Amino acid sequence: ASAERYKNRDDLLLVEFAEGTRVAGVLTQSRTPGAPVKWCRDVLPGGRARGLVVNAGNANVFTGKAGDAAVRRTAKSAAKILAAPAHEIFIASTGVIGEAVNDGRIIQALPALYDKIGATSWHQGARAIMTTDTFPKGAWRHATIDGARVTIAGIAKGSGMIAPNMATMLAFLFTDARLPVRVLNALLRPANEFSFNSITVDGDTSTSDTCLLFATGQGASHRAVTRAGDKRLGGFRSALGEVMTDLAQQIVRDGEGASKFITITVSGARSPAAARRVALVVGNSPLVKTAIAGEDPNWGRLVMAVGRAGEDVRPEKMVISIGGHKVARGGKRAPGYVEKTVARHMKGKEIEIAIDLAVGSAAATIWSCDLTHKYIDINADYRS
């Protein structure tokens, strides 16, 4: 532990990769990115990785040139320990914004951390990168390429400041398959759109969002793969999507103060992008989220959210359902609507909302959570 912010707990992750490991990534689109994000953006084009260092407690954002220098020193120190070039070391940070990072503590902790590196340290690694998270997040799947079994594993952190616009909060994916960078990128980006870019807790995009996919090639007995469209990658593509969706949903379930998990499906849209935008407006609406927290089937708030999303809709044809029960249809309350029936669904932990815009055939699904008093308590006291 570096004790940069947290006491008596692990707060630092070090991962060592075999020589020849390839890496792809997606990073936050925030216009105020942290120093670690800028470092990753600079070294990602090289496509090679030998190490990963992640610290929790200090985001190293808006820390000026000193923050950039701290990242460089950390990368150089990790590179020395791993006998690797500094530009093959990836850095990520999460925590408070605007406070100077004490990289000396991080650097001092690296040698002892290196001595503890092991193939079974997944749970400890996932726990070390937590901030307001209440549980460590991990997922894995097996897939086959050319009949050879490969593994995809991932860890992630995130609970608040969750409305990704690139990648995730922090997510690190690992596979022993042997895949070139261009294939990794082609697989990662669409999977990201349907997983991490399809969740929201509070509508705030982090300055530190980082998602990296590392392919070591160490367990690969399959023939070379040079194209993302290669049919042999079908199972791998599905497994990668499952791991990323699993991690994304864990983040929503651990949303700060959340008591309910919400699935929002929008259909009948002009395009998948339009459907996703409407779903995210609904999922980010404080009025919708608080109604769900209060177990109030106030479907009028869904009508409001759809209307302000800015996408085409035919109100006279639109259908809104909660828990499979139609609540609005034909521009008014649905015939046969029984509020008590919908209210029973609202008392559950899993809330399902479906909206048909009636203007096209495209659809999208996103995941969100409710907004409770506990969210305010957590964030009002975050720095204390």
Catalytic residues: 168
Look up residue 206 and give its DSSP letter: P
* Token representation of residue 143: 């897939």
Q: Is 356 helix (H, G, I), strand (E, B) or coil?
A: strand
Cβ neighbours for 179, distance < 8 A, ≥ 6 positions apart: 22, 187, 215, 217, 225
Look up residue 36 and give its DSSP letter: H
Phi, psi of 318 (to 5 degrees): -60, 145
| Helix residue ranges per DSSP H, 116-214 | 122-128, 181-193
Q: How far apart are CA 69 and CA 48, in angstroms?
A: 22
Contact 174, 13 (CB under 8 A): no
* Residue 378, CA distances (Å) to 20, 274, 329 in order: 43, 33, 39
* Residue 48, CA distances (Å) to 17, 132, 186, 236 in order: 10, 31, 16, 21
